[in-house]
Amino acid sequence: MERFRFLTAGESHGPMLGAVVEGVPAGLALTEADLAVDLARRQRGYGRGARQAIEQDRARILSGVRHGYTMGSPILLEVENRDWANWTRVMQVGPLSDEEAAEIAALAADGNKRARPITAVRPGHADLAGALKYGFNDVRNSLERSSARETTARVAAGGVARAFLRALGIEVWSFTAEVGGVAVDPASCTRTRDEADASPLRCPDPVAEAAMIARIDEARSQGDTVGGVFEVVVHGAPIGLGSYTHWDRKLDAALAATVMSINIVKGVELGLGFEQTRRFGSQVHDVIERRNPDGTWVHRTNNAGGLTGGVTNGEPIIVRGAVKPISTLARPLPTADLVTGEELEKAHYERSDISVVPAAGVVGEAMVMLTLASFVLEKTGGDSMAEIADNLRRYQARIAAAPAVPVPGTKAGGHAANETPGA
Ligand code: EPS
């Protein structure tokens, strides 16, 4: 069974978002303050909308942790939606009484957009397909869950995975690599990781960032939205996570799937990604230079993004997510009505963000961390942090040693002789 699995629940304007993280080993130090860091990072970024001024995302830990340490039992996390206070009637969980239904009707008649059923489906959003699939005549029922607000719960769960990976020496970060066609230039990435993280777009290149901000302003002034690319970088992953032996054991495939599952992501690249197709092999493949005395291996480049054959090769893992422009436009596109099927001049609009690339990067980190945590546990086994750290240390020492010189025709059949039981 998959380890470190998680489920999220919650609507954008409901009372809360929740996550259950199952399969977390015992003995991991974990506090609510640990989880607050990424939740705050996800809320930031130039181009965010009015909703973020309302929310102050904090995760409560409701189970699985005692006196600051995990116990191996499921961890239940809850993040309050502060905006819920403005939606209690419209998003009420219990059945509506006649008086309550009349209250909503009166609000709608008064011009309150929240109280009105939504049928002007937004191009590019899950509205149309979602409402048809589940049989709704009010898109409110689908947009509340398809909203990217759900990614808050993923980031809370991702914080648990970060604590786990960090305890094993694995660090995960991300940055904004591109907005609206403006890309970072590696030569002018002068900011440190902390400086980049604190910058308006979480971008290491201050020159490119200024041009990205101009693109966001341009979109805003035209009632439009703009997308981009985030890059997640993993340092310290041991060689040998994932496997080439079967399609569903490949770590690269799992990362592609989990990063693609982020609401706004329409493409995923690993390492050089699609650029590899435009070059000859000699310009793509990472020359293996040597084994160091400490057993680590050196590649001349990292175009593979740390993964070859679906297996980590000791280089940093590089995952890039393509973020489409948000589909809720202040100057809405034309659409058709869900109920009448007739043309409408404008799709639904309440309020929205202009650009969310820095926030999407933090969600990308969460998905990468949750995926990696599961693959680390698959490699090491173990139920407590002490056991896992021990297993990982022994495995790393084993692969750091030179294999025995192979002798043709020996019974070991290609196994390093000292590793073969009974040899
Ligand atoms: C979203 C619409 C906006 C965004 C929201 C995603 O919410 P609202 O309709 O309340 O203004 O702010 O994202 C978040 C709330 C968040 O925390 O990321 C959508 O329709 O997907």
What DSSP string describes 159-204? Answer: HHHHHHHHHTT-EEEEEEEEETTEE--GGG--S-HHHHHHSTT--S
Pocket of ligand 1 (CB under 6 A): 12, 49, 51, 55, 83, 143, 147-149, 152, 328, 350-353
* Residue ranges making up the domain that contains 352: 5-84+148-380
Check which CATH number belongs to the domain holding 331 and give it.
3.60.150.10
Confidence tier at 1 by pLDDT (50, 70, 90): low
Residue 92 covered by a domain: no
The total of structural domains in the chain comes to 1
Residue 125 covered by a domain: no
What number of other Cβ atoms are within 10 A of residue 225's Cβ? 24
pLDDT of residue 352: 87
Confidence tier at 419 by pLDDT (50, 70, 90): low
37 CA distance to ligand 1 middle (Å):
20
352 CA distance to ligand 1 middle (Å):
6
Nearest CA to ligand 1 atom 3: 352
10 CA distance to ligand 1 middle (Å):
13
356 CA distance to ligand 1 middle (Å):
10
Q: Is the pTM of this model over 0.95?
A: yes
Confidence tier at 422 by pLDDT (50, 70, 90): very low
Confidence tier at 404 by pLDDT (50, 70, 90): confident
For the residues 379-397, what does the mean pLDDT come to?
97
pLDDT of residue 58: 97
**Residue 349 one-letter amino acid:** Y
Q: For residues 13 and 170, what is the distance between their CA atoms, to the nearest angstrom?
A: 35
Residue 123 covered by a domain: no
Partners of 317 in beta bridges: 234
Q: For residues 355 and 203, what is the distance between their CA atoms, to the nearest angstrom?
A: 14
% of the chain at pLDDT higher than 90? 91
For the residues 138-143, what does the mean pLDDT come to?
97
- Condensed to tens digits (0 to 9), the pLDDT of residues 57-110 reads 999 999 999 999 999 999 999 999 999 999 999 999 999 999 999 999 999 999
For the residues 185-208, what does the mean pLDDT come to?
97
CA torsion sign, 127 to 128 to 130 to 135? positive
Q: Which mutation among 139, 352, 357, 362 tests ligand 1's pocket best, with the greatest number of atoms within 8 A of CB? A: 352
What DSSP state is assigned to residue 342?
A: -
Torsion angle, alpha carbons of 252, 10, 77, 8, to 10: -20
- Looking at the CA of residue 83, tell me the nearest atom of ligand 1: 10
- Condensed to tens digits (0 to 9), the pLDDT of residues 260-303 reads 999 999 999 999 999 999 999 999 999 999 999 888 999 999 99
Residue 141 covered by a domain: no
pLDDT of residue 384: 98
Question: Helix or strand or coil: residue 229?
Answer: strand
- Looking at the CA of residue 143, tell me the nearest atom of ligand 1: 20
Residue 112 covered by a domain: no
pLDDT of residue 205: 98
Q: For residues 137 and 303, what is the distance between their CA atoms, to the nearest angstrom?
A: 48
- Condensed to tens digits (0 to 9), the pLDDT of residues 334-364 reads 999 999 999 999 999 988 899 999 999 999 9
Residue 411 covered by a domain: no
- Condensed to tens digits (0 to 9), the pLDDT of residues 112-137 reads 999 999 999 999 999 999 999 999 99
pLDDT of residue 383: 97
Nearest CA to ligand 1 atom 1: 147
Q: Is it the case that residue 418 has pLDDT exceeding 70?
A: no
Mapping DSSP onto H, E and C, the string for 85-122 reads HHCCCCCCCCCCCHHHHHHHHHHHHCCCHHHCCCCECC
Confidence tier at 423 by pLDDT (50, 70, 90): very low
- Looking at the CA of residue 152, tell me the nearest atom of ligand 1: 17
pLDDT of residue 191: 98
Mean pLDDT over the full length of the chain: 95
Residue 371 covered by a domain: yes
- Per mean pLDDT, which range of 45-54, 249-258, 265-274 is the poorest? 45-54
Residue 402 covered by a domain: no
CA torsion sign, 250 to 253 to 257 to 259? positive
For tokens 């209690």, name the residue.
88
Q: Is it the case that residue 421 has pLDDT exceeding 80?
A: no
